[in-house]
A and B are shown apart, each in its own frame.
Chain A
Amino acid sequence: MKIFKYLGVAVESIRAHKMRAILTMLGIIIGIAAVLITVGIGSGTAASITDRIESSGTNLLTVSSGNRGSSSSAALTMADAGVILDATRFPTVQLAAPQYTSNATLTNGASAGSYQVMGTTPAYATMHGLDLNAGAFLTAAQVEDNENVVVLGATVATDLFGGQEPLGQSIRVGDALFTVTGVLASTGSSGFGSSDSMVYVPLDVALGRLFNVTRVRGSYTISGIGIQVKTQEDLDPTALQVEQVLRLRHGLGADDENDFSISNQADLLEMASDVSGSLSALLGGIGAVSLVVGGIGIMNIMLVSVTERTREIGLRKALGAHDRDILLQFLVEALVLCTLGGLIGIALSYSVAWGLGLIPGLSSTVVIEPWAVMLALAVSTGSGFVFGLYPALRATQLDPIEALRYE
């Protein structure tokens, strides 16, 4: 291969102009790393959202009270939940868990804080696959007997007990004393709705003693009902059936809007992928801007060196170089610089991704996708190539003396 003949010349030239080479590569390194990291953050976030939704249980429907545009906002009742729990009317329903959620202050000695308290049944832990770190989730007997027991999310347990063992201890929820009977394993996720920062009490304890919830037609109102159907195919028909039954029970006319809403996991996933798609696009845009900035960096340093390089080309021609010799030399040099810069950029983005993974609070990771690597490499290498070859292409057109005189 003729190329190898020029590899020596190219390496020689790079070594003789280290600064120029480094600055050129810097453009490529920055471009590649910026694109890979920003796109990686997008992909990582998307993956973690999907992950979270999927890990929260499969084949789930959630019925929530209230709906946009509906005037009566608390129409869902325990009686409604009872109907859905009737296996003869809803044979496709595997599990159903009525829920009531509100805020309360939890106190353990000097430690106190406001947390989301959910009253529910044992089915809730099953359908959401909650793992226990210590003790047990609410049992059927505890729910039946309206016991003052509480299961703490991992974050809540650390907040209130620090390093101490919470199990069997008494804490105050509102004004009432509760015994801690379970502590959930940490899911690592944070923010609104994460089980880490929630506490769970028996359903009727929440509805009566704790929050004294209003009743409609003699039945407690609740915030929602979690439903797990038997197979994925059951999701849509069950949702439709639940909707029809609830409309009937709530006495809604043909023109009335639902006073509840039913969401299914597939909808959530779709929404999440929409969100993360636009997030990726946004971050990709930022990455593209960095790529352009990197490209401009390459262009600048190349333009600055055009005079020097043009004179070099004039001299080489004066000493007997053919146009082909010059072009190949520059081509190989651009190739070497771009490949080297590209590899460094990729290595840099992987180490940044790794470094971010070490930060404990960060729930989402940076996922570097192969297509992003290809894209960044192609664009950066392309720009390095074009700008690297620019002076060579210009100078090969000149007579040697013109190139030597070039200012």
Chain B
Amino acid sequence: MNQNTAHSHSEDGASHTSPVILVKELTKTYIMGETEVHALRSVSFSVNAGEYIAIIGASGSGKSTLMNMLGLLDRPTSGSYRIGGVEAAELSKDRMADLRNTQIGFVFQRFNLLARTTALKQVGLPLFYAGVSGRESAKRAAAALARVGLGDRLDHRPEELSGGQQQRVAVARALVNNPGIVLADEPTGALDSHTGSELLALFDELHAQGITLVVVTHDMGVAARAQRIITLRDGEVLEDRANFAGQNEALPAGPLSASIANGAQNGAAAHGSNHAQLAVGAAMPATAATGGNHEDL
């Protein structure tokens, strides 16, 4: 792992950081028999590496739909989604799977753990699909569990863990491959307020380590921790504003996690080789629109 940061690849002086996520006029329409449901009408925004963003909005406003798009779990009806400078629509199924595996950590509201499977095995799953050997995998899974404070629960199955612990297993699983981006859809939705705030403290740490965080919530208390809050209504961005009350720019940006640096490095390497891993967080020309998004609202 080198110590490069995303900054070092910014060839455009206009921006210090480059967008990891760039969404333009994204729409998603579900067709339910005769009627069309416009879950997303036209959503545009960008997220820079290391940002902590909250997406809020009423139930049914399209938050989950958007998150599933960002997590490459679903495909948009139209519009463009560039992740690390690569157009998602052009990715093959397997490349999308690889990106989900290595670049994105997804935390679900309902945890989505495998039944009757130990915490160590749950967390090892992304490593298995990344081709990491069994011994190495167990070591790294144990480390990830220790990172979320579950170092003494390796052999516990979901039914033997509390809700908060289950969600932390899910977070460990999201982190185990050192992704640059962590996406969480209502991660505190199924937790009581105490375990919820423990989880948020964990997110603060991830942010401090330089991971790009996008958290969907309808709880303003949760959103208040983020640097920036995007509000959705009826599948459109109602508001996109900086949140100075929450974590702010003054917070030390480094040390950036190895994964971000890794992503940036891959991006640099991508010129010379057709490396299978996609360059998330790679340098891409920052457009004026990216910066403009913040000021507009």
Contact = CB atoms under 8 A, between A and B. Distances in A.
22 contacts: A8-B134, A16-B114, A16-B115, A16-B117, A17-B115, A316-B125, A318-B71, A318-B106, A319-B101, A319-B125, A319-B126, A320-B98, A320-B102, A322-B97, A322-B129, A323-B93, A323-B94, A399-B74, A400-B100, A404-B73, A404-B108, A404-B112
A321 B74 contact: no
Given A318-B112, A321-B97, A325-B129, 4 more contacts: A16-B115, A399-B75, A400-B73, A401-B74
Interface string A302-339: 00000010011001111111110100000000000000
Given A399-B73, A401-B68, A12 B100 contact: no
Contacts of A362: none
B9 interface: no
Interface residues of A, number: 23
A9 interface: yes
Interface string A1-18: 000000011001000110
Interface string B110-143: 0010111100010001101110001000000000
B121 A12 contact: yes
Contacts of B100: 317-320, 400
A318 B111 CA distance: 13
B117 A12 contact: yes
Nearest to B173: A319
Interface in B172-193: 173, 177
A9 B100 CA distance: 20
Q: State the majority secondary structure of interface residues on A.
A: helix
Contacts of B74: 399-402
Determine which residue in A9, A311, A319, A401 has the highest number of CB atoms from chain B within 10 A of its CB, and name it: A319
Interface residues of B, number: 28
Interface in B187-224: none
B37 to A, nearest CB: 14
Nearest to B174: A319
B112 A321 contact: no
B80 to A, nearest CB: 18
A17 B117 CA distance: 10
Q: Which 6 A-B pairs have the closest CB atoms?
A: A320-B101, A320-B129, A16-B116, A401-B73, A401-B74, A400-B73
B73 A316 contact: no
A319 B93 CA distance: 13
B98 to A, nearest CB: 7
A311 B94 CA distance: 19
Contacts of A16: 114-117
A320 B116 contact: no
Interface string B141-160: 00000000000000000000
Interface in B1-23: none
